[in-house]
């Protein structure tokens, strides 16, 4: 193996000599089956859905509380304006 190839495999900074790649392992490379990819996608989508549900469950009560608070402030503000206008 040339010196440049060793640097590519080991990296310039690590200084670890990993040697030549094992040629027998190249024959074990297989494409992933469609069923496996479907299982992985469904697990990722399931985790994403649960994550979004947890986010909304945590944040929606805060948003509702803020909206109710703003509505109360507006109602109190309009009542104060009506009282000031009558005096």
81 and 46 in one domain?
yes
Tell me: do 82 and 44 sit in the same domain.
yes
Q: Which domain holds residue 43?
A: 31-87
Residues 54 and 64 in one domain: yes
Same domain, 43 and 55: yes
pLDDT tens string 10-62? 455 667 887 777 777 777 778 889 999 999 999 999 999 999 999 999 999 99
Give the integer Cα–Cα distance in Å for 47 and 33: 22
* In 14-33, alpha helices (H): 23-26
- pTM (predicted TM-score): 0.45
Residue 53's pLDDT is: 95
Residues 15 and 49 in one domain: no
Q: What is the pLDDT of residue 5?
A: 53
> Domain tally for the chain?
2
Residues 1 and 43 in one domain: no
């Amino acid at each position: 193996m040339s010196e440049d190839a060793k640097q590519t495999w080991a990296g310039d900074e690590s200084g670890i000599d990993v040697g030549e790649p094992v040629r027998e392992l190249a024959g074990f490379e297989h494409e992933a089956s469609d069923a496996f990819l479907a299982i992985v996608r469904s697990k990722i989508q399931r985790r994403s859905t649960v994550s979004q549900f947890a986010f909304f469950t945590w944040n929606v009560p805060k948003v509702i509380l803020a909206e109710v608070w703003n509505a109360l402030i507006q109602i109190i503000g309009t009542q104060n304006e009506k009282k000031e206008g009558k005096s």
